[in-house]
Amino acid sequence: MAIVNHIFSAVMIVLALCFYLLGNTLSDDAAKWPQFFSILLIILSIGLIIDTIIKPNRESETSITEKQKIDQKDKNHNLTYTGILTILYLLLMNFIGFLILTPIYIFGLLWLLTYREVKKLIFLSIGTTIGITALFQYLLGVPIPQGFLENLL
């Protein structure tokens, strides 16, 4: 697994450098975010390389009990349902709107991933939606799809 981590890190560093250089072609204000995330990706990739050098067999050392194992059939079903749920989310976004659809999507996705504490699911899905809305719509000025609520808000 160590060689895979090194190859993955190298590819990510090259991609991050490309995006950083592409960011230089933008105006100073527009280049800040792509360059920030490029530098962050480079730092994380270097961290993966260092972590892999320090502990090259980390994945083989972890032991999984029988109770924690998920057989391949369940994994395939989860992947299929996640894909279907995501496609429905994207297709319905412009009609229903971000504020209504996103908590339902997050709740459904976490439920699908076997998280069953309903009160925490409700809090997490609504809190995440509020956080994303505050970040993108109010702090960054990026409009989010309102759906049928557009005329009401």
Q: What is the pLDDT of residues 52-89, one digit of tens each?
A: 999 887 766 555 554 455 566 676 678 889 999 999 99
pLDDT tens readout for residues 100-149: 999 999 999 999 888 889 999 999 999 999 999 999 888 888 889 998 88
CA-to-CA distance for 82 and 115, rounded, in angstroms?
Answer: 14
Helix, strand and coil content of the chain, in percent to the nearest 5, comes to 80, 0, 20
Nearest to 99 by CA among 128, 121, 140: 128
pLDDT tens readout for residues 20-44: 999 888 888 888 888 999 999 999 9
Nearest to 144 by CA among 131, 129, 133: 133
Q: How many CB atoms are closer than 10 A to CB 40? A: 11
CA-to-CA distance for 94 and 89, rounded, in angstroms?
Answer: 10
Alpha helix (H) residue ranges in the chain? 2-23, 28-54, 58-61, 72-96, 98-112, 118-133
Please tell me the predicted confidence (pLDDT) of residue 65: 52
pTM score of the predicted model:
0.59
Please tell me the predicted confidence (pLDDT) of residue 10: 95
Residue 45 in contact with residue 16, Cβ under 8 Å? Answer: yes
